[in-house]
Structures are given as structure tokens and as C-alpha cells.
Structure 1
Amino acid sequence: MIAAAAPEVFGGRHLALLGLAAVLGVVVVWGARRLRGHPAERRVTCLAGWLLLAASLAWMGWWMLPENWDIGRSLPLHYSDVLRIIAAVALIRRSRWAVAITWYWGLTLNTQALLTPHPSQLRFSPVEFPFYWGLHIAVLLVALLVVWGLGHRPGWRHFRIAYVAVLGWAAIVMVLNSWLGTNYGFLNELPPGDSILDLLGPWPIYILWEIVLVAAVWGLMTWPWARRRARTPARQRSVGGSGRGRYRATKKPRQGRGTEPGAPD
């Protein structure tokens, strides 16, 4: 009997999963825009946040089981591990720092796990396959939801929050990797299999390139929103302001299709 070929990156199964993520992204943004400003908005997003948190903790707990324990895989030290918790906080609390990190990390670092997964993640298994793909897609959807759906507007302050956080987490994890002999975050050596990091040179050169490229890409992700905000009258911007660190979205106007929502902090 001939063994079935292993799924390939950008093969049929992988492209189907990416297509599913794209379709769900459109649906989530459309639904969030319809829900924005409605009394049920906060209840729905809070429920989604708690579900994401519960699933993330269950996934962490599964790796902690004795039969699954592996010092190099079981600790929640990858960027995607902490990002899932932060994305849940963004939905539940709408904290400015959580929304900022979810937007920048979710559309870049998290997306790398979707675009260039290890081939083993494409093999179907009853636990790892649905959790890996379901949680990574969920975080991508949260990033799209909070900005394109609920109307949060990134600015340079949010860029700084996310950038300082990514550098701080990298420093902590690199120290732990050196101590434990692990490679969480792929910060101490290149990941196995093909990756975009292969184009950036050996360690530590690719780390330096990452620092530069992340700043450049995130800057491009910020500039259109900051430019639009600079053109928005201060009266409209003040609608979403908050001195307590909450990151509020502008309510979608109920009447007047030509009215454009303001751009809060």
C-alpha cells in the first residue's frame, strides 16, 4: 500500500485553510460593523473574548499533560501563546494596550504561523490540528474585528506600545531560551522547515533584521490611520477619548449613510 503524501505548505489543504480564514475575516468585519453601536455589542464581544480565553487556557493545559510534556514546546512562551491571552483581553476589556498589541502582532507575527506553518501542523489530528488552526485564525479575526469592524483607530502611541512590548517579550524569552536550551519565538535559532526568516541570514543577524523590518511594517500599518486622524476635526476625535486607558471605538452612526465615523485614539 502506498502511503498518502504528507500535506505541503501552500498545498491544497493549506490553501483551503487560508481561504477559510479570508472568508471568516470578511464575515466577522461585516458582522461587527452591523453590530457596532448596538446595545448588544459589548455582550457579544465579551462572550467571544471569554470563549477565546477558555480555548487558549485549554490548549495550554493540554500541552502540560504528562503525556504531552516537552520542555521545548509545552511552555506558553511563543508570541502566539501570549497574544491569544492579550486578544481575549482586547475583546473583554477594550484596553488600549491590548487592542494595540492585538492589531500589530495579530496581523504580522500571528500571520506568519498561518502562512508558513511547519508541515506537521497540516497533518490532521483530533486535538492539535483544530486548536492550532482555530486559535491562530481566531486571533487574526480579533485583529480585524477591533479595527475594521469596531472602529478602533491605531496611532503612533499604539505603535509604541506594541513595539516596546514585542522587544520586551523577546528579551525575556531569549534569556529563558538560553537557560532552558529551548527556542521559543525562534529567537535563538532559525525555526525548522522553510520560513521567511531564512531570507534574513543566520542568528543573530536575522534578529537585527526583524527589529528593523517590524518597525518598518508596523509604521506602514500606522501611517494611514494617523494621517486620517490628523485630518479629522478635534471635535470628532474627542468622541472616543478616555483618560483611563480604555480604547473606545466611535459608534457607528444610525442615520446618514454619508456620515463618516470619527477616529478616536
Structure 2
Amino acid sequence: MAYPPWLDPYDAEPFAAFSTSHISSMIIIFALVILLFLYRHRLRFMSERSSRFMRIGLAGFMIGCEIVLQIWYVYGGIWSLRTSLPLELCSLSLLLSALLLLTRKKWLYSALLFSGIAGALMAIVTPNLGYAFAHFRFIQFFVAHAMIILALLYMTWVEQIRPGWRSVAGSMIFVNIAALVVYGIDVLLDANYMFLRHKPGTPSVLDMLGPYPVYILGEEVLALVLFSLLYLVLFVIPEWLKRISGKKVKQTQMHSKS
């Protein structure tokens, strides 16, 4: 069967890390995050109906990202229980983030916030990907991972859900429970979802964490560090800056009155 070049699962141009298309994709995702931050106030004051429509639309788009991937697997004749189930951390984060948009459950937000953003960021910087731009798989990969980050930041900046340090623990618990369940499926299917049985064939951050199974322990430490850093960047530092700004405003007002 002859496939269009942008859908061909067998004879496609291989992905090259930090190529022009890879760097461009990262820049576009970063720009979208900045735009979401800049327009957070305008989005926050939408009507409840518009807000609900926005969340349903985003959730539908995210679920659609996974559906079209599954359709491509079948179309290309490469669908397999061992490789095609949505059991990678980012696939789980994508679908559960869509559920979060629909339900606005705080416990789900706490479980996903740091694990979803950190996992998607690592995947974007070091993709386990075999297809270059403008192949369907390249576009689907970066769109899906960008949507995880944008959905979770939308719930943070627009819906204004605020986690505490317990959210770092919640994300750690979520990752470990997911890993335990997925490892059981890996053994059952002789698969390697979440790279729990060996490293991916492409270069990744796991290469710096030692051999199997040492790198799994390294992932635990790396996850805790990344989740803590995200908490500092997203919440601790902004709150600190807000307090400093508030003190300066009060001091200015006091001086102007005197």
C-alpha cells in the first residue's frame, strides 16, 4: 500500500533533535504559553457559558489528538497492544488533563499539574520520535504535548486553582501509581510503556541517569526536583513578587499622603 509522504509510517524522514523544525516547535510552544499568561485576565472574566465552551473545546481537541493517533496506527498497519495503547505518561496526562478541563476537580489538578508539565517539557526537549516535520506524527506529537502544558496552565492562570506543597506529593503519588499499574501491563504484554523495562532507542534524559534499573530511581529524584522547581516558579516566586509590589504601593501611598 502506498502512503502519502506525510502519513507514511515506514519510509519517512527521521527526526533530528534540535533541528530547525524542532527548535521552531519549542519556540512556538513557548510563545503560546506567554500569550496564555498575557491574556489570562481577559480569559478569566469571560462569562460562565464562554468559559465552559472554552474548556469543552480544549478537552475535545485533546481527546481528538489521541483519537487521530490511534486512527493513524490502524491506517498504517502498525497498531499493536505492545506499542499503541495510551499508557505513556504523556498520553495519560493528555487524556486526564482533558478530563480535568471538563470536571475542574482539584484532586485531579494536584495529581497532574507538575507531572503533566514536567513530563511534557521533557518530551518536547528530548522527543522519543522517529518522524521529521511535516510528517503527521511530528505535528501530532508536539501539538499533544503543548496541549498538556497549556491545559494545566489554563487551569492555573485562568481558573485560578492554587496548589500547595501537597500538590508536589500528589504528582509524585500519581506518577508512582501510574508506573506500578503500567509496569504490570508491560510484563503482561511484554511491552515497554513508560520505559519501565528498558530505555528508549532514541537519545533522552534517561541516558544520564545510569543503566537499568538504576535510571528508574534517578527518575524519581529528577521528578521530585522538577516538581519542586515548578512549584517555586509558578507559585512561590510570583507570590513573593506580588507581596513586594504590594508593599511598594502601600509605601508610595503613605508618602503621597504625608
Scaled to the shorter chain, the TM-score interval is 0.7 to 0.9
Contact 2:70 2:79 in 1 (8 A): no
Letter matched to residue 133 of structure 1: F
State the Cα RMSD in Å. Answer: 2.9
Q: Match for residue 149 of structure 2?
A: 140
CA deviation profile, 1:63-115 (whole Å, cap 9, x unmatched): 35582313332111111111111111121111112222332122211111111
Equivalent in the alignment of 2:162: 153
Q: 1:11 aligns with which of 12, 19, 23?
A: 19
2:214 is the alignment partner of 1:197:
no
- Note if contact 1:7-1:122 (Cα within 8 Å) is conserved in structure 2: yes
Is residue 27 of structure 2 the alignment partner of residue 37 of structure 1? no
Which residue identity is paired with 1:37?
F
Q: Where does 1:164-175 land on structure 2 (aligned, <5 Å)?
A: 164-175=173-184
Is 2:130 the counterpart of 1:130?
no
Question: Which string of whole-angstrom CA distances, capped at 9 and with x for unpartnered residues, describes residues 106-144 of structure 1?
Answer: 22111111111135133432x322221211111121122
> Runs (4+) of structure 1 moved beyond 4 Å?
4-7, 226-230
Does 2:144 match 1:111?
A: no
Structure 2 distance, partners of 1:48, 1:124, is: 23
- For 2:177 and 2:15, the matched residues in 1 are separated by 36
Q: Distance in 1 between matches of 2:70 and 2:14?
A: 26
Aligned equivalents of 2:61, 2:133: Cα separation in 1: 25
Is 1:25–2:33 an aligned residue pair? Answer: yes
> Aligned match of 1:180 in 184, 189, 209?
189
Deviation at 1:61, TM superposition (A): 4.3
Check 1:25–1:229 CA distance in 2 against 1; reply closer, same or farther (3 A cut). closer
Q: Distance in 2 between matches of 1:61 and 1:100?
A: 31
- Specify which structure has the higher proportion of helix: 2
Q: Residue 22 of structure 1: CA displacement?
A: 0.9
Deviates more, 1:90-99 or 1:63-72: 63-72
Give the alignment's TM-score, normalised by structure 1.
Answer: 0.76
Retained in 2: the 8 A contact 1:190–1:203? yes
Q: Which residue of 2 aligns with 1:250?
A: none
Aligned equivalents of 2:60 and 2:127: distance in 1?
26
One-letter code aligned to 2:126: T
Bigger CA drift: 65-74 or 178-187? 65-74
Aligned length: 231
In structure 2, give the amino acid aligned to 1:157.
Answer: R
How far, CA to CA, are the matches of 2:57 and 2:155 in structure 1? 15
1:52 corresponds to which letter in structure 2? M
Q: Which residue of 1 aligns with 2:103?
A: 93
- Displacement of 1:160 in angstroms is 2.4
CA positional deviation for 1:33: 2.6
Aligned-residue sequence identity (percent) comes to 24
Gaps of 5+ in 1: 233-257, 259-265
Matched, 1:219 2:236: no
Aligned counterpart in structure 1 of residue 81 of structure 2, from 60, 71, 75: 71
1:157/1:68 Cα in 2 relative to 1: closer, same or farther (>3 Å)? same
In structure 2, C-alpha distance between the alignment counterparts of 1:227 and 1:22, rounded to whole Å = 19
User: What letter is aligned with 1:43?
Assistant: F
Contact 2:15 2:131 in 1 (8 A): no
Q: Where in structure 2 are there 5+ consecutive unaligned residues?
A: 1-11, 243-248, 250-258
**CA distance, structure 2, for counterparts of residue 59 and residue 91 of structure 1:** 21
Q: What is the CA-CA distance between 1:30 and the residue it aligns to?
A: 2.5
Closer, same or farther in 2 for the Cα pair 1:108/1:134, shift >3 Å?
A: same
